[in-house]
Amino acid sequence: MVSRVIPVDTFDLVIFGGTGDLARRKILPGLFRRYCAGQMPPEAQIIGAARSEMTDDEYRAFVREAVDEFGSTPHEPGQFDAFLGRVGYQRVDAKGSDGWEDLGARLRDDAVRAFYFSVGPALFGDLAERLRTFGLATQDTRIVVEKPFGHDLQSARALNRELAEHFNEGQIYRIDHYLGKETVQNLMAVRFGNMLFEPLWNAQHVDHIQITVAETVGVGGRGGYYDKSGAMRDMIQNHLMQLLCLIAMEPPARFEPDSVRDEKLKVIRALDPVEPHHVVRGQYAADENQPGYRAHVEDPRSTTESFVALKAHISNWRWAGTPFYLRTGKMLRARTSEIAVVFKDAPHSIFGAEAGRHRNMLAIRLQPNEGMTLDVTIKEPGPGGMRLVDVPLDMSFADALGPDGADMPDAYERLIMDVIRGNQTLFMRGDEVEAAWAWTDPIIESWARRGDVPKPYDPGGSGPDDALMLMHRDGRRWRDIKA
C-alpha cells in the first residue's frame, strides 16, 4: 500500500510553551517525523517561545534532545540538521510585553501563521490578546489551544468569550488529541464507508455499547493538577465524550468540519442527565508495592476520583433504549482503549436452548494494537450435534495495512498538519465543549452535594466492584481489561 503524504503549505508555527513537557514529548518529535515524511515544506519555520532565556542554538540542542528521547524516526544523514535549521527560539512573556515585537519580526507575510498555546489555560487569554495588540495575528492566523478547556461550563464559556474577542471560531483549533488517533478517525470510515454496519447501528440491533479507556499508571508527578480535576473532567468530559459522539452520531452529509461537528453536538445535546446511581467513582488504594492515590496528592483526605464508570442514555430515535457504558481509570490491569458494540441476540434460535446464548460483537481497539475484532457465531467443529461457538474475526491494522499501517502518524503530528491545512474537522468547536460541560457539571455537582466519597479499588484490577455491579444489574458484563 502506498502512503500518500501531501505536503502542506509553508508555515510559521510558534509554540508558546516551547520548552514545556508537551512540546518535548509530543509536538517537537511529531514535527520532526512529519519533516522526515516529506510533509513539512523545507521553508517551514518552527519557533519555540517561553520566558526562559535561550539562544536559537540552545533551543536547537533542546529540540534534538527531545526528539532523541521521545520519538525519532529513521532519517537520512543530514536530515536532522536540516530540520533543526528550520527551528528558532524567541523569549516572550505571555503576561508582559517582552519579546513580542521581536517575535513579530521573525514571522513572514507569505506563510501560514499558527500559534500553538502549549501553556496552562490561565495564559490563553493573555496570549490571544497580545497576538492582536502586537499585530501578530493576521486574518488567516490560527491558534491551537490545549486541554483542559475550562473546568466547568462557566469557565469554558468565559474562555470561549475571551478567545472570541480576538479570533473568530474558524481560527480556533481546540485540541482533543483522541480525535487525531488513526483508529478514532477509522470509526467514521468503518461506519460510513461500509454498507455492512450502518443498517444495524441502532437501538433495534445494538444491545449496548461499552467504551473503556484504561491506564496502568497512577497520577505520578501530575498529582497537583489531577487532584483538582479527576477522571470525570480529565477523561470523560472530553476524550470519552468524543468517542461516544463518533460512535453515536448520525451520518454527516459530508466529511467537513461543520457537518461532522453539528452531528456530534446533536449527540451531546440528546444525552439524558445521568442518574446518580448510574455513576460509580473510584480511587486507587495502596498495595504492598506502591502507595495509593492520596499519597500522590497534597490533600491526604482527597475525594477526587481516579476512576469513573457510568451508564448514559441518548434520547433520540436511533438510540432510545440502548445504554452506553463508559469507563475510565488509572492504575488498572492493562493500558487499553476500546469500544465494543454488542449486538442483540438473534430473535429466535433454531438450535434450541442447549446451543447457548451467542452474540455478535464489534470491538474497536484504539490502543494498543489498533484494530477491530468482530465476534461471529459458528458451529463448533466436530461431530456430535450442533454446538455453537463465537470466534473472532481479528484484524490488526498494522498487519492488514502493511508497513504504512504500522507507521501511523501520532495524533499530535496529524493534528498539527491539519491546523496548517486549515481543516477543523478533528477539533472541537466552542459549542461542543460547552455542551459537554453542561452534561458533566450536574454529575460532579451531585457528588459534592451528597458528600460522595469514591470507592477504593486495588491497583492492577478493573476498578471498584460497584462498577461491575453497574453492568451486572442490567444482566450485562464489562469486557475484560487486557492489553
Per CB under 6 A, residues contacting ligand NAP are 16-23, 25, 50-52, 92-95, 118-121, 123, 146-148
Pick the closer one to ligand NAP by CB: 14 or 92: 92
3-class SS at 321?
coil
Pick the closer one to ligand NAP by CB: 126 or 258: 126
Sheet holding 45-50, edge to edge: 87-91, 45-50, 11-16, 112-117, 142-145, 172-174
Q: Widest CA span of the chain, in angstroms?
A: 83
How far apart, in whole angstroms, are the C-alpha atoms of residue 247 and residue 209?
9
How far apart, in whole angstroms, are the C-alpha atoms of residue 462 and residue 304?
18
- Residue-wise DSSP of 306-318: SEEEEEE-B-STT
Grid coordinates belonging to 123: 495564559
Q: Any known ligand binding at 147?
A: yes
Chain centroid to Cα 252, Å, comes to 21
Shortest Å distance, C-beta 170 to ligand NAP: 22
Shortest Å distance, C-beta 124 to ligand NAP: 8
Pick the closer one to ligand NAP by CB: 159 or 267: 159
How far apart, in whole angstroms, are the C-alpha atoms of residue 171 and residue 257?
12
Non-local (6+) Cβ contacts of 76 within 8 A are: none
Pick the closer one to ligand NAP by CB: 50 or 84: 50
How far apart, in whole angstroms, are the C-alpha atoms of residue 172 and residue 179?
16
Query: CA dist 218 to 234, 237, 292, Å?
Result: 13, 19, 9
Shortest Å distance, C-beta 46 to ligand NAP: 14
Shortest Å distance, C-beta 150 to ligand NAP: 12
Grid coordinates belonging to 383: 461431530
Shortest Å distance, C-beta 255 to ligand NAP: 26
Q: Any known ligand binding at 415?
A: no
- Residue 65 sits at φ, ψ, to 5 deg, of -65, -45
Q: 48, 66 in Cβ contact below 8 A? A: no
3-class SS at 432?
helix
Q: 209, 341 in Cβ contact below 8 A? A: yes
Pick the closer one to ligand NAP by CB: 60 or 311: 60
Q: Any known ligand binding at 208?
A: no
Q: Any known ligand binding at 24?
A: yes
Q: Any known ligand binding at 85?
A: no
Catalytic residue among 239, 278, 296, 313: 239
239 is an active site residue = yes
Q: Any known ligand binding at 373?
A: no
Pick the closer one to ligand NAP by CB: 217 or 391: 217
Closest to 238 measured CA to CA, from 367, 146, 333, 335:
146
Shortest Å distance, C-beta 192 to ligand NAP: 29
Pick the closer one to ligand NAP by CB: 224 or 291: 224
Shortest Å distance, C-beta 359 to ligand NAP: 37
CB atoms within 10 A of CB 78: 8
Q: Any known ligand binding at 329?
A: no
Shortest Å distance, C-beta 458 to ligand NAP: 27
3-class SS at 423?
coil
Q: Any known ligand binding at 228?
A: no
Q: Is 55 exposed, middle or buried (0-12, 13-18, 19+ CB in 10 A)?
A: exposed
Q: Any known ligand binding at 19?
A: yes
Q: Any known ligand binding at 336?
A: no
Q: Is 402 left (phi over 0), alpha (psi -120 to 50) or beta?
A: left
Residue nearest ligand NAP, CB atom distance: 20
Pick the closer one to ligand NAP by CB: 48 or 459: 48
Q: Is 409 left (phi over 0), alpha (psi -120 to 50) or beta?
A: beta
Q: Element (H or E) spanning 105, and its range?
A: helix 100-106
Binding-site residues from annotation for NADP(+): 17-24, 51, 147
Binding-site residues from annotation for substrate: 177, 181, 215, 234, 330
Binding-site residues from annotation: 17-24, 51, 147, 177, 181, 215, 234, 330
Catalytic positions, please? 239
